């Protein structure tokens, strides 16, 4: 059974702080790992998709890394801003399944 | 492109009524996904289609739920009869040629069953 876990469940940081959170997944049957950003009352929006062990992706102040052998991915936000407040979802894709994690809810306090 | 289009955006109905949610994927996308978001369970995959064919419906809660994709530009999710516990936000998403590609989500349909 594929199970994707994320930690922490929620996070409160001060504006300007850097932060990171984790997505854990079973390393077998791995095809891709996705990160989505989901603002309240909106739809999830894609941040990154990673497929290879050691992949690193970066978009502005946000970056992500992938370790498929040990089954985890980190999402980093440098210099958090209030507009970064959202739920960050990771999703694992196997050859025929898509499993979303429960998300990490980030609140950035001005 | 207009993105993934869902209708209606909001639906309020009474228990026992039939509810039909609609989705138009991004043109040219081969995959279409239906999700349900609830406070208790987060984002759940209900069913997905590849080239209009249902591939995995293991997330469909029970027989009251059914989904169809009669052509590449239209899909429906039907609940009959609806129950209060079906109240949730239902998202449709589409992605291009392979399942591991990025999904593009519609705005969602907020369903309230009284």
Please provide residue B72's backbone torsions phi and psi, each rounded to the nearest 5 degrees.
Answer: -70, -10
Q: Which of B9, B7, B24, B47 is nearest to B104 (CA)?
A: B24
B57: helix, coil or strand?
coil
pLDDT of B38 = 86
Distance of CA B62 to the CA centre of its chain: 15
pLDDT averaged over every residue in chain B: 94
- Tell me the C-alpha distance between B33 and B46, whole Å: 8
> Cβ of A32 and B100 within 8 Å?
yes
> Cβ of A102 and B48 within 8 Å?
no
- Tell me the C-alpha distance between A13 and A84, whole Å: 11
> Cβ of A43 and B45 within 8 Å?
no
Lowest model confidence (mean pLDDT) among A31-40, B67-76, B97-106: B97-106
Burial of B64 by CB count in 10 Å (0-12 exposed, 13-18 middle, 19+ buried)?
middle
pLDDT tens per residue, chain A (110 residues)?
Answer: 568 999 999 999 999 999 999 999 987 778 899 999 999 889 999 999 999 889 999 999 999 999 999 999 999 999 999 999 999 999 998 888 888 999 999 999 99
Residue B1's pLDDT band, with cuts at 50, 70 and 90, is: low
* B83 token code pair: 């129950």
- The yes-or-no verdict on residue B89 having pLDDT over 70 is yes
pLDDT of B101 = 87
pLDDT average, residue stretch B95-104: 87
pLDDT of B60 = 93
Among A45, A89, A98, the residue with its CB nearest the CB of B33 is A98
- Among all residues of chain B, which has the CA nearest to that of A94? B100
Q: In this predicted model, which residue has the larger pLDDT, B1 or A48?
A: A48
Give the number of beta-carbon pairs within 8 Å between A and B.
48
Please provide the size of chain B in residues: 114
Residue B32's pLDDT band, with cuts at 50, 70 and 90, is: very high
- Please indicate if any CB of chain A lies within 8 Å of the CB of B102: yes
* B45 token code pair: 């995959």
Q: Mutate which of B25, B100, B106 to test chain A, going by most A C-beta atoms within 10 A?
A: B100
What would the pLDDT profile of B56-70 be if each residue is shown by its tens digit? 999 998 899 999 999
Given a contact cutoff of 8 angstroms between Cβ atoms, the answer to whether A42 and A75 are in contact is no
pLDDT of A1 = 58
């Amino acid at each position: 059974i594929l199970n994707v876990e994320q930690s922490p469940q929620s996070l409160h940081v001060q504006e300007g702080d850097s932060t990171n959170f984790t997505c854990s997944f079973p390393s077998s049957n791995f095809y891709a790992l996705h990160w989505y950003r989901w603002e309240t009352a909106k739809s999830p929006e894609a941040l990154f998709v990673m497929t290879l062990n050691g992949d690193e992706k970066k978009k502005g102040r946000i970056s992500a890394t992938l370790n498929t052998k040990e089954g985890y991915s980190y999402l980093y936000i440098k210099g958090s801003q209030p507009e970064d407040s959202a739920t960050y979802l990771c999703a694992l894709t196997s050859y025929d399944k898509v499993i979303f994690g429960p998300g990490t809810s980030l609140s950035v306090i001005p | 492109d207009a993105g993934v289009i869902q209708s209606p955006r909001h639906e309020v109905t009474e228990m026992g009524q039939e509810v039909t949610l609609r989705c138009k994927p991004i043109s040219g996308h081969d995959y279409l996904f239906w999700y349900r978001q609830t406070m208790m369970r987060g984002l759940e995959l209900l069913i997905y289609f590849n080239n209009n064919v249902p591939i995995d419906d293991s997330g469909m809660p029970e027989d009251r739920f059914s989904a169809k994709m009669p052509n590449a530009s239209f899909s429906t999710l039907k609940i009959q009869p609806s129950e209060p516990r079906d109240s949730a936000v239902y998202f449709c998403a589409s992605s291009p040629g392979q399942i591991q590609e990025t999904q593009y989500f519609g705005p969602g349909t907020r369903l309230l069953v009284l």
